[in-house]
């Protein structure tokens, strides 16, 4: 019996000794020693003795540090919610990168269905000019939305007065909205996408099922090149510029209604990474094109044939000359309508109508440093039943989203995100 008592004492002493000599720093070491009925557990200086079996176990846990969530923050209204006179259609938004001013455009159903452009002056939304961009009423679908760009304080708007009608480009100059040249497209335009590189405007449109891209040469709109690209219908044109080279993403009716990107490096159109890309064999809608500060090219779209119709963002890999998903092949919670993509530096922002979250507007951030997607603030930050999201990012990296506000009788609202 004395023999066993000596063994127990030695074992208990050893357990206490090694517990005290455990790992230092932020970790926690727990040593459990059991010899013929005596168990001693020591954890950061606390000791208890119980009756257990004869075993000896040492475990160490390391204290983890929770990283900051890049999506943490809040959305707030810019000015008053629901500031248009009537319900808003054809919503567009743009930032003047020279000074950070935010502009919006919409067809105001409370003002004779005419297109208006407004600027936020720091307190309120004020009309640009003393009247609408055009004296004509504008009848558009959710996809034939105006395209708005602001260049050094001068707003430009490209729009179609009705599906299949004339394509017009106007700018605000000398206290009035004036035509920017005369486009060689009339009576047959569908969809439009406007960009400016340097001081030169470029515009892409569908003319009788053919993609046409023009640039302003003095007072005349010239073809980027004379070769034609067949589009079919419902193609969701999206134009982006890399220097003076235009890139156009669209739903390609000639390739199973999947995504295709064309670019014009010279006198003809080339295909970037193969025609008709996407996820598996799924068709796409709502193509949106963006180029980041490292000249990487991205396309967002909604999967259109496979439930739950999630949003996807793909990147062109210049090494493999193919398109690859950025994150999962479906990054929204569920169905995502009207996907809108923007880049800021190396990061990506994606806004969409979130059918899985009360049909509100959700915006995601792809954080380049952590290589992950994050919800900015909360899903459906707009409240339920919002529509027609339009997205821009100011020079400080603050995202702004304009939308038709279901909480304000369908009027126009703009919200911005402030990170924690």
Q: For position 226, what pLDDT does the model report?
A: 81
Average pLDDT of the chain is: 85
Q: Please tell me the distance from the alpha carbon of residue 400 to that of residue 414, in angstroms, as a whole number.
A: 7
Q: Please tell me the distance from the alpha carbon of residue 241 to that of residue 289, in angstroms, as a whole number.
A: 10
Position 349 in a domain: yes
Q: For position 52, what pLDDT does the model report?
A: 36
Q: State the average pLDDT over residues 130-146.
A: 86
Residues 6+ apart with CB under 8 A from 186: 166, 167
Given a cut of 70, whether residue 44 has pLDDT beyond it is no
Q: Is 14 helix (H, G, I), strand (E, B) or coil?
A: helix
% of the chain residues with pLDDT over 90? 70
Of 38, 61, 84, the one marking the end of a domain is 61
- Do 303 and 395 reside in the same domain of the chain? yes
Given a cut of 70, whether residue 57 has pLDDT beyond it is no
Of 14, 30, 61, the one marking the end of a domain is 61
Q: Is 47 helix (H, G, I), strand (E, B) or coil?
A: strand
Position 299 in a domain: yes
- Do 146 and 208 reside in the same domain of the chain? yes
Given a cut of 90, whether residue 48 has pLDDT beyond it is no
Distance in angstroms between the alpha carbons of the first and the last residue of the chain: 66
Q: Is 150 helix (H, G, I), strand (E, B) or coil?
A: strand
Given a cut of 80, whether residue 54 has pLDDT beyond it is no
297 within 8 A of 241, measured Cβ to Cβ: no
pLDDT in tens, 406-418: 999 999 999 999 9
Q: For position 69, what pLDDT does the model report?
A: 92
Q: For position 42, what pLDDT does the model report?
A: 36
- Among 405, 381, 417, 418, residue whose Cα is nearest residue 81: 405
- Do 46 and 131 reside in the same domain of the chain? no
Task: Note the helical H segments in 237-328.
Answer: none
Q: Please tell me the distance from the alpha carbon of residue 247 to that of residue 18, in angstroms, as a whole number.
A: 67
Q: For position 53, what pLDDT does the model report?
A: 34
286 within 8 A of 302, measured Cβ to Cβ: yes
Q: Please tell me the distance from the alpha carbon of residue 277 to that of residue 285, in angstroms, as a whole number.
A: 12
- Among 186, 185, 170, residue whose Cα is nearest residue 115: 170
Given a cut of 50, whether residue 16 has pLDDT beyond it is no
Given a cut of 70, whether residue 47 has pLDDT beyond it is no
pLDDT in tens, 320-357: 999 999 999 999 999 999 999 999 999 999 999 999 99
Specify the number of domains making up the chain. Answer: 2
Q: What is the distance of C-alpha 225 from the center of its chain?
A: 30
- Do 57 and 162 reside in the same domain of the chain? no
Q: Please tell me the distance from the alpha carbon of residue 395 to that of residue 104, in angstroms, as a whole number.
A: 17
- Do 341 and 396 reside in the same domain of the chain? yes
Domain that holds residue 110: 73-419
- Do 57 and 96 reside in the same domain of the chain? no
Phi, then psi, of 4 in degrees rounded to 5: -70, -35
- Do 126 and 250 reside in the same domain of the chain? yes
- Among 250, 251, 245, 243, residue whose Cα is nearest residue 268: 245
Q: State the average pLDDT over residues 190-213.
A: 92
- Give CA separation, 273 vs 269, 299, 315, in Å: 13, 12, 10
Prior bond of 308 cis (ω within 30°): yes
- Do 319 and 175 reside in the same domain of the chain? yes
Q: Please tell me the distance from the alpha carbon of residue 20 to that of residue 263, in angstroms, as a whole number.
A: 68
Q: For position 67, what pLDDT does the model report?
A: 56
Q: For position 24, what pLDDT does the model report?
A: 38
Q: Please tell me the distance from the alpha carbon of residue 417 to that of residue 397, in angstroms, as a whole number.
A: 10
Edge-to-edge, what's the strand order for the sheet holding 311-317?
284-291, 297-303, 311-317, 322-325
- Do 196 and 240 reside in the same domain of the chain? yes
Position 66 in a domain: no
Position 136 in a domain: yes
Q: State the average pLDDT over residues 65-71.
A: 72
Q: State the average pLDDT over residues 374-389.
A: 98
Helix (H) or strand (E) holding 328: none
Q: What is the dihedral of CA 5, 8, 14, 20, to 10 degrees?
A: -110
Q: State the average pLDDT over residues 198-220.
A: 92
Q: Please tell me the distance from the alpha carbon of residue 143 to that of residue 184, in angstroms, as a whole number.
A: 22
Q: For position 38, what pLDDT does the model report?
A: 37
Q: Please tell me the distance from the alpha carbon of residue 89 to that of residue 149, in angstroms, as a whole number.
A: 18
Per-residue pLDDT band for 207 (boundaries 50, 70, 90) equals: confident
Q: Please tell me the distance from the alpha carbon of residue 1 to that of residue 7, in angstroms, as a whole number.
A: 10
User: If you write DSSP's letter for every residue of 127-193 in order, what string do you get?
Assistant: ESSSS-S-SS-----SSS--EEEEETTEEEEEEESSTTS-EEEEEEETTEEEE-S--S--S-EEEEE
Q: What is the distance of C-alpha 5 from the center of its chain?
A: 71
Q: Please tell me the distance from the alpha carbon of residue 349 to that of residue 374, in angstroms, as a whole number.
A: 10
Question: Which CATH number does the domain housing residue 336 bear?
Answer: 2.120.10.10
Position 347 in a domain: yes
Q: State the average pLDDT over residues 175-192.
A: 85
Q: Please tell me the distance from the alpha carbon of residue 323 to that of residue 261, in angstroms, as a whole number.
A: 10
Q: Please tell me the distance from the alpha carbon of residue 239 to that of residue 290, in angstroms, as a whole number.
A: 8
Q: Is 13 helix (H, G, I), strand (E, B) or coil?
A: helix
Q: Is 140 helix (H, G, I), strand (E, B) or coil?
A: coil
Position 46 in a domain: yes
Q: State the average pLDDT over residues 366-393.
A: 97
Position 67 in a domain: no
Of 61, 85, 101, the one marking the end of a domain is 61
- Do 389 and 278 reside in the same domain of the chain? yes
Q: What is the dihedral of CA 183, 188, 190, 195, to 10 degrees?
A: -10
- Do 114 and 27 reside in the same domain of the chain? no
Q: Which is more confidently placed, 92 or 189?
A: 92
- Do 227 and 134 reside in the same domain of the chain? yes
pLDDT in tens, 258-304: 999 999 988 899 999 999 999 988 999 999 999 999 999 999 999 99
- Among 168, 121, 127, residue whose Cα is nearest residue 144: 168
Q: State the average pLDDT over residues 5-25.
A: 39
Q: Please tell me the distance from the alpha carbon of residue 313 to that of residue 297, in angstroms, as a whole number.
A: 10
Position 68 in a domain: no
């Amino acid at each position: 019996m004395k023999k066993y008592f000596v063994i127990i004492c030695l074992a208990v002493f050893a357990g206490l000794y090694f517990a005290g000599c455990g790992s230092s720093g932020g970790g926690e070491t727990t040593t459990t020693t059991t010899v013929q009925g005596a168990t001693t557990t020591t954890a950061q200086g606390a000791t208890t003795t119980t009756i257990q079996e004869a075993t000896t176990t040492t475990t160490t846990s390391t204290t983890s540090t929770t990283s900051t969530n890049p999506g943490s923050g809040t959305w707030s209204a810019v000015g008053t919610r629901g500031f248009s006179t009537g319900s808003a259609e054809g919503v567009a938004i743009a930032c003047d990168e020279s000074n950070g001013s935010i502009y919006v455009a919409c067809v105001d159903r409370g003002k004779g269905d005419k297109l208006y452009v407004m600027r936020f002056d720091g307190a309120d939304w004020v009309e640009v000019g003393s009247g609408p961009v055009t004296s004509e009423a504008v009848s558009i679908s959710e996809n034939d939305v105006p395209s708005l760009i602001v260049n050094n304080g001068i707003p430009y708007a490209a729009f179609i007065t009705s599906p299949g009608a004339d394509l017009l480009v106007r700018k605000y100059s000398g206290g009035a909205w004036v035509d920017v040249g005369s486009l060689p497209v009339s009576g047959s335009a569908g969809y439009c996408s406007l960009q400016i590189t340097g001081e030169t405007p470029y515009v892409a449109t569908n003319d009788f099922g053919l993609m046409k891209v023009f640039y302003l040469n003095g007072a005349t709109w010239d073809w980027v090149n004379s070769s034609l690209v067949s589009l079919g219908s419902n193609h969701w044109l999206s134009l982006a510029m890399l220097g003076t080279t235009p890139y156009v993403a669209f739903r390609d009716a000639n390739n199973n209604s999947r995504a295709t990107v064309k670019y014009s490096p010279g006198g003809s159109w080339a295909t970037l990474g193969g025609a008709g890309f996407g996820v598996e064999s799924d068709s796409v809608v709502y193509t949106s094109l963006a180029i980041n500060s490292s000249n990487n090219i991205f396309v967002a779209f909604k999967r259109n044939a496979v439930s739950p119709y999630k949003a996807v963002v793909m990147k062109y890999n210049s090494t493999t000359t193919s398109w690859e998903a950025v994150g999962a092949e479906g990054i929204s919670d569920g169905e995502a309508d009207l996907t809108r993509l923007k880049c800021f530096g190396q990061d990506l922002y994606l806004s969409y109508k979130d059918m899985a979250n009360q049909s509100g507007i959700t915006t995601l951030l792809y954080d380049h440093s952590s290589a992950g997607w994050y919800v900015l603030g909360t899903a459906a930050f707009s409240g339920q039943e919002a529509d027609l999201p339009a997205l821009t990012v100011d020079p400080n990296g603050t995202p702004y989203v304009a939308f038709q506000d279901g909480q304000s009788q369908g009027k126009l609202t703009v919200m911005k995100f402030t990170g924690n």
